[in-house]
Amino acid sequence: MTSFPATRCFTCLQSFLVELETQGDLRRISRPVSLAHEMTEIHRRVLAAGGPALVFENPLHADGRRSQIPVVANLFGTRRRIEMGFGLPEGGIGDLAAGLAELRSPSPPASLREAFSKLPHVTAALNMRSKHVSRPAAQQQVFTGNEINLDMLPIQTCWPGEPAPLVTWPMVITASPDFGDVNVGIYRMQKLGRDRLIVRWLAHRGARSTIECGRRRAVTCPSRSRSEPTLLQYSRRSCRCHRG
C-alpha cells in the first residue's frame, strides 16, 4: 500500500529561493546577461553539470533594454531541488509518484484495514480541488486593456531560428464551458506583440478539450484582427492572465 510522504510547504517562490540560498544551492548573477541566447546557454551548461539554481538579476532584452524583473533559471534542475520544492524528504519523490498513480487509477480496498490505509489518498484528492478566494496573492497587480505591456517581461529567445520570444513556463488556466472544470497547464507561449500571445498544445492535453468544447458551442470572443479566431481567442472568455 502506497502512502503520501510527509511534506513541508513553502508559502511562495521567494521562501523557496531563500531556503536554496541558505543551503548554498542558488547563485546570483549580477552582470547583465542577454535574454537572446546567452541566458539559455548559461542555463544549459549549469543544468548539464548538475549545478545550482540561478537568479539573473540584470536581464537584457534583445534591443539592449535592461529588464526590471529578474529571471530564475534551473530551479528544478536536480532531483534534490524537485523534492525540496514539493517539501519532500530526500528520496521521497518515488512515494509521491506512486501515490499520484494510485489516485489516477484507484483500486477498491480488500479489507477494512486497507480501507483505512487509503484515507490519506482521500484527503489528497480533496485538497486537489480548486478553491475560490477573494484576494489571491497572484492578483496583487492586474493589468487590463491598454495597461498590458508584455515588453516589460523578461521573455527569452532561447535558440537560433525558433519562433520567439517564448514564455517558457506559463501557467495557462482554462475552464470548461460545459462542466466548469478548471485545468492548469504549462504550454509554451510565443509573444507576437505588446499585448498578444499565441499558444499551441497537443491534442491529448487538458486545455485542448476545453477549446474543442468551446468550438462546439461557438464560444468565441471579439478579436483585434479580422482573421478567424485562433486557439487562444477561443479560450479568452474562460482564461485570465495576470502578473503578480
Q: Which residues pair with 182 in a beta bridge?
A: 175
| Nearest-10 Cα torsion for 223, 228, 231, 234 | 50
* Neighbouring-strand partners of residue 89: none
pLDDT value for 24: 96
**Contact criterion met (CB below 8 Å) for 85 and 10:** yes
Residues constituting the chain: 244
DSSP letter assigned to residue 64: S
- Closest to 124 in 3D by CA, of 242, 6, 243: 6
**pLDDT (0 to 100) of residue 76:** 94
The H-assigned helical ranges of the chain are 13-22, 38-48, 79-85, 93-104, 112-117, 119-127, 206-216, 231-235
Alpha carbon separation from 182 to 31, 154, 177, 200, 210 (Å, rounded): 41, 28, 10, 18, 9
User: From first to last of its 244 residues, what are the pLDDT tens digits of the chain?
Assistant: 445 555 567 888 999 999 999 999 999 999 999 999 999 999 999 999 999 999 999 999 999 999 999 999 999 999 999 999 888 888 888 887 777 777 777 777 777 777 666 666 666 666 666 677 888 877 888 888 899 999 999 999 999 988 889 998 888 877 777 666 777 888 889 999 999 988 877 776 767 777 776 666 655 433 332 223 333 333 333 333 333 3
| Every domain of the chain and the residues it spans | 1-128, 143-238
pLDDT at 11: 81
